[in-house]
């Protein structure tokens, strides 16, 4: 436990971290990769280039400082990050390396303001926080390995089928090469896929949501091919999966992970809202409810540019027909044929339309998609008066803030 004095010192750094947090984490990653280049095999290079990882870590450090005397407050965030760490294979012996480089980054960025007293307090605080992560992750590693069909580390899976779902998304049906059982998962969770890509110096690991219900003899991931866009390069991993991986090839998978999951104990009406490739965890949730013959009222709402890029559309329509109280709605921002009648709304999801198609706001909501899309949906639901505890969403990539996305959109 930290002393009152140490807690006071850490809290005194909160305003500084609010201003310099991203500069500190940017320098941290520079130091980390210079001293331990092997860790380049773990981190997503695209997120590094775009500054997403640095921003996410800055937010985490800021929250840790703000709630250093009430670490239970940030336990949900700890568990979310711990799921990612377990999926990536982060180990306890890597935490001292992170701590050393983080303290060095604080010292370099803050200069004379980083007194020995402040650095000493942060060193002690980091030890406490790291201990929480290590304990939580140890339990997750044990559970992943010891559950029925579970395993440690990465396991070889064969691409049994590769199916083109739209002009930009393909599904991969993956079965274990060893022929053994596979672990169940919670609808909404993801797997990490580890790839050694020809021509790439480092291993690439990416998380992909499982896009079918648990209980099948396979895992299914549905991957969007990320083309070069607005100055950002094409996605190395997604292009590799689309252009080079074929049926019969092997991929290495970690056991399913993630804290974004459908609550199967809840019997209230449920609304799934997705944008683009964010449809993947929503389909897993929908398929699960239908497989379980749930009597819940289900609304499945998906937004896409048009029919050409709308993945899993027919599957969702067929699945909805099997349920007693389920409906699907499509919203296209740029329909190829506006008079084709294969969608329900042209433009963007708005509150009047939600109020028109949903019988009531009294439901539990799950949504996923690009960050600006999620910020928009979150704002609509709150404006409608939906309780925040009934709103659940998943970020693809480093944890972000919907409030920050809303601010960006505003201006």
Where is the binding site for heme b, in residues? 85
CB burial string 265-299: b at 16+ within 10 A, e below:
eeeebbbbbbbbbbbbbbbbbbbbbbbeebebbbb
8 Å CB contact between 50 and 29: no
Annotated binding-site ranges for NADP(+): 276-281
Instruction: Find where tokens 């099948």 sit.
Output: 216
Give the contacts of 194 (CB within 8 A, at least 6 positions apart): 154, 203, 204, 205, 251, 252, 253, 254
Rounded Cα–Cα distance for residues 400 and 396 (Å): 9
| Numbered residues of the known binding site | 85, 190, 206-209, 276-281, 395-398
219 catalytic residue (yes or no): no
Active-site residue (options: 137, 165, 226, 405): 137
Of the candidates 98, 366, 410, 118, the one whose C-alpha atom is nearest the C-alpha of residue 258 is: 366
Token pair for 258: 């993630």
Residue 291 Cα distances to 205, 296, 302, 319, angstroms = 31, 12, 21, 9
Other CB atoms closer than 10 Å to residue 332's CB: what's the count?
Answer: 25
CA 79 to chain centre: 13
Q: Which of 95, 126, 219, 365 is catalytic?
A: 95
Residues paired with 156 in a beta bridge: 252
Q: What's the CA gap between 360 and 355, in Å, rounded?
A: 7
| Residue 37 DSSP symbol | G
Q: Is 95 a catalytic residue?
A: yes
* CB neighbour burial string for 207-235, b if at least 16 within 10 angstroms, e if fewer: bbbbbbbbeeebbbbbbbbbeeeeeeeeb
Going by the annotation, the residues of the binding site for FAD are 190, 206-209, 395-398
Enter the tokens of residue 236: 């190395």
Residue given tokens 């480093």 in the structure block: 398
φ, ψ of residue 159 in degrees (nearest 5): -75, 100
Enzyme catalytic residues: 95, 137
């Amino acid at each position: 436990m930290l002393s009152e004095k140490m807690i006071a010192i850490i809290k005194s750094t909160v305003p500084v971290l609010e201003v310099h947090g991203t500069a500190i984490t940017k320098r941290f990653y520079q130091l980390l990769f210079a001293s331990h280049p092997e860790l380049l095999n773990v981190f997503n290079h695209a997120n590094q280039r775009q500054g997403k990882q640095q921003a996410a870590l800055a937010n985490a450090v800021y929250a840790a400082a703000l709630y250093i005397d009430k670490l239970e407050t940030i336990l949900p965030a700890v568990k979310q990050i711990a799921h990612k760490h377990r999926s990536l294979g982060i180990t306890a012996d890597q935490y001292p390396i992170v701590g050393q480089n983080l303290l060095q980054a604080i010292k370099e960025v803050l200069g004379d303001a980083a007194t020995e007293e402040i650095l000493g307090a942060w060193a002690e605080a980091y030890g406490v926080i790291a201990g929480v992560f290590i304990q939580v992750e140890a339990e997750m590693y044990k559970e992943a390995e010891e559950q029925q069909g579970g395993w440690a580390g990465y396991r070889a899976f064969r691409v049994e089928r590769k199916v083109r779902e739209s002009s930009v998304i393909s599904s991969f049906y993956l079965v274990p090469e060893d022929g053994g059982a596979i672990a169940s998962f919670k609808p909404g969770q993801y797997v990490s896929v580890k790839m050694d890509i020809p021509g790439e110096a480092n291993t690439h690991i990416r998380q992909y949501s499982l896009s079918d219900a648990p209980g099948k003899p396979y895992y299914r991931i549905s991957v969007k091919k990320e083309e070069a866009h607005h100055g950002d390069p094409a996605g190395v991993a997604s292009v590799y999966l689309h252009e080079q991986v074929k049926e019969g090839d092997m991929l290495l998978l970690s056991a399913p992970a993630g804290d974004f999951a459908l609550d199967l104990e809840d019997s209230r009406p449920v609304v799934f809202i997705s944008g683009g490739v964010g449809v993947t965890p929503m389909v897993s949730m929908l398929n699960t409810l239908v497989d379980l013959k749930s009597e819940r009222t289900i609304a499945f709402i998906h937004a896409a540019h048009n029919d050409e890029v709308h993945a899993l559309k027919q599957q969702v329509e067929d699945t909805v027909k099997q349920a007693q109280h389920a409906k699907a709605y499509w919203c296209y921002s740029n329909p190829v044929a506006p008079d084709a009648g294969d969608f329900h709304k042209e433009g963007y999801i708005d509150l009047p339309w939600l109020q028109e198609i949903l019988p009531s706001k009294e439901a539990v909501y799950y949504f996923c998609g690009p960050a600006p899309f999620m910020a928009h949906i979150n704002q609509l639901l709150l404006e409608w008066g939906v309780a925040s505890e009934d709103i659940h969403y998943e970020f693809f990539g480093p944890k972000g803030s919907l409030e920050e996305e809303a601010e960006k959109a505003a201006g």
